[in-house]
Amino acid sequence: MSMRIYSTGSLTRGVLSPLDQVRLFERKYDPGSIAILQTLPLRREWRCLDIGAGAGSMSRWLAERVVQGNVVAVDLDTQHLAAAPNVTVQRADITQAAFEHASFDLVFARAAFGHLREPETTLRRAWNWLRPGGWMVVEDSYHLPPEHAPTEAGRILLAAYLRVLAEQGADLAWGRKLPRALARIGCIDVDARITPAGPGQSPADDDLIGLRLRQEGHRIVESGLVTSEQLAEFLAHLGSPLGRDLSVLMVSAWGRHS
């Protein structure tokens, strides 16, 4: 059953754990990621690398299909990653991680590289871990201009949220650059797909946005970028036609090592 956590407009802190946010993110994006991976020639003996594995949903999905191989699930924070059959959990900063050259048949990364200050540099490093003929699948966000949001509350809130992300070093346009970046590092047979995201795009979107703002919105309010009234107004419109918006495009791009 979907949690309509936004229905009260509550700004209470810490009602749900960060793990709930990760799981809602997986609920939103796993079906699309799986659809792409199912188009690849996955083999039972493949060795796979899942970068930014989160709570491990995609690592587990892959592990069920590479039963004679294995999956290495890497994240900077592994508190939500539990050991599973055929899955090796590794805590690491992917910009510093070292894997053997040509040691993976598949490198999968979702919502990982866009948070780095030099995403293409790390993308090139990950390319070196891929064997010839192996596949790279990368998914990241392209954030649309907040000034185009249909409501004043949306414009103010999205601008504040993106400002915080940018200050943390995120490349807000990285998703748009992905197909070309894969071609630049040497991928062949590059293809791409776009998944819309934002308020009203799906129940999963609204649940994820509502939870994220209940857990993190107070920080934006305390920074002075948004008032509590503006945040409450935005939350109150989630789930209604008045709050519908297209704020993010998830760009999925994939290609093969020559």
pLDDT in tens, 221-231: 998 999 999 99
For the chain, what is the domain count? Answer: 1
Q: Which of 190, 208, 193 is nearest to 247 (CA)?
A: 208
In a domain, 9, yes or no: no
pLDDT of residue 42: 97
| CATH number reported for the structural domain that contains residue 118 in this entry | 3.40.50.150
More confident residue, 66 or 164: 66
Helix (H) or strand (E) holding 159: helix 152-167
In a domain, 100, yes or no: yes
d(CA 227, CA 11): 12
Give 98's Cβ-side CA count (13 Å radius).
0
* pLDDT band per the 50, 70, 90 thresholds, residue 6: very low
In a domain, 49, yes or no: yes
C-alpha angle with apex 113: 109 to 118, nearest 5 degrees?
Answer: 150
Arithmetic mean of pLDDT, 165-189: 95
11-44 residue pLDDT tens:
334 445 778 999 999 999 999 999 999 999 999 9
Arithmetic mean of pLDDT, 213-234: 92
pLDDT of residue 186: 95
In a domain, 83, yes or no: yes
In a domain, 10, yes or no: no
How far is C-alpha 183 from the chain's CA centre? 21
pLDDT of residue 91: 96
- The CB density around residue 105, as the number of other CB atoms within 10 Å, is 22
**Nearby residues of 39 by Cβ (< 8 Å), 6 or more positions away:** none
More confident residue, 127 or 6: 127
112-158 residue pLDDT tens:
999 998 999 999 999 999 999 999 999 999 999 999 999 999 999 99
Residue 5 reports pLDDT greater than 50: no
In a domain, 56, yes or no: yes
Q: Which of 49, 136, 142, 145 is nearest to 97 (CA)?
A: 49
Determine contact, residues 19/215, Cβ cutoff 8 Å: no
- The CB density around residue 147, as the number of other CB atoms within 10 Å, is 8
pLDDT of residue 16: 53
- The CB density around residue 243, as the number of other CB atoms within 10 Å, is 22
pLDDT of residue 135: 98
* pLDDT band per the 50, 70, 90 thresholds, residue 255: very high
Question: How high does pLDDT run on average in the chain?
Answer: 91
In a domain, 187, yes or no: yes
**Residues present in the chain in total:** 258
* pLDDT band per the 50, 70, 90 thresholds, residue 249: very high
Burial-class residue 230 by CB neighbours within 10 Å (0-12, 13-18, 19+).
buried
Residue 4 reports pLDDT greater than 70: no
Determine contact, residues 71/61, Cβ cutoff 8 Å: no
Arithmetic mean of pLDDT, 70-77: 96
Residue 235 reports pLDDT greater than 50: yes
In a domain, 1, yes or no: no
Residue 92 reports pLDDT greater than 90: yes
The residue range of the domain holding 230 is: 18-257
